[in-house]
Amino acid sequence: METQLQTQRPLLLSLLFATLLLHLQSFAAVASHGPASQSNSTDYIRSSCVATLYPEICFTSLSRYASAVQQNPARLARVAIGVSLSRARRMTAYVSNLSRQADYGSDHRAAAALHDCFSNFGDAVDEIRGSLKQMRQLGAAGSSAEAFRFQMSNVQTWMSAALTDEETCTDGFEDVPEGPVKSEVCERAADVKKFTSNALALVNSYAAKGIA
């Protein structure tokens, strides 16, 4: 019995060593591939953001989603739309709260501008939400080039409309005297417009590629 164990021991040790070696190689492969893949995805987002009007804002806001985006233009467009939707929703909530708290005195123009801004951003939220829903349904109506163009046309139209509504908000304050309410609202609205503009640019870039 002892002789048999002595005979099998080198074989068992060899098997254990081989198994350990395979695990180490697998771990090394994952460790080396993960960061490289993440880096490639981050580089892809940076290069894609060059097509936007605000590339630094684009990269800063989207690079955290590199692992989800990878190097897929459809995913990048969807994420950008999602980020712009989040910003527009926050702005809508902010204007709603401000309209209830602000003291306008006798200045009805500021009150009217704020009310219109709330309405404009509410419309923008609906349009961006519709764009995101359409992006998630890409290919559901068929994989033909015609179906793709139709769906992307809807996304582009809604995102463009959202940007117009956001711009209309700030336009409504042109005749309002300078003050903290006007400054704060216009500054925040301008910030949201940058995210919507970037999302639209990435949507247009994806649509031009014609990939369903």
How many domains, the chain?
A: 1
Report residue 168 as tokens: 């209309």
Residue 63 lies in a domain: yes
Best CA proximity match to 162, nearest among 116, 118, 186, 196: 196
Residue 180 lies in a domain: yes
Residue 79's pLDDT is what? 97
Residue 25's pLDDT is what? 46
Residue 30's pLDDT is what? 38
Residue 43 lies in a domain: yes
Name the stretches of the chain with pLDDT < 50. Answer: 1-2, 5-6, 12-13, 15-33, 212
Residue 204 lies in a domain: yes
Q: pTM here? A: 0.79
Q: What is the CATH number of the domain that holds 130?
A: 1.20.140.40
Q: How far is CA 168 from the centre of its chain?
A: 23
CA distance 175 to 170: 10
CB neighbourhood size of 55 (10 A): 16
Residue 46 lies in a domain: yes
Residue 143's pLDDT is what? 64
Residue 64's pLDDT is what? 95
Residue 10's pLDDT is what? 54
Residue 2's pLDDT is what? 47
Residue 111 lies in a domain: yes
Instruction: Round the CA-based radius of gyration of the chain to a whole number and report it.
Output: 26
Residue 70's pLDDT is what? 92
Residue 142's pLDDT is what? 55
Residues with Cβ within 8 Å of residue 133, at least 6 apart in sequence: none
- Domain extent for 88: 35-211
CA distance 94 to 101: 11
Residue 197 lies in a domain: yes
Residue 50's pLDDT is what? 97
Residue 40 lies in a domain: yes
Best CA proximity match to 147, nearest among 191, 204, 210, 199: 210
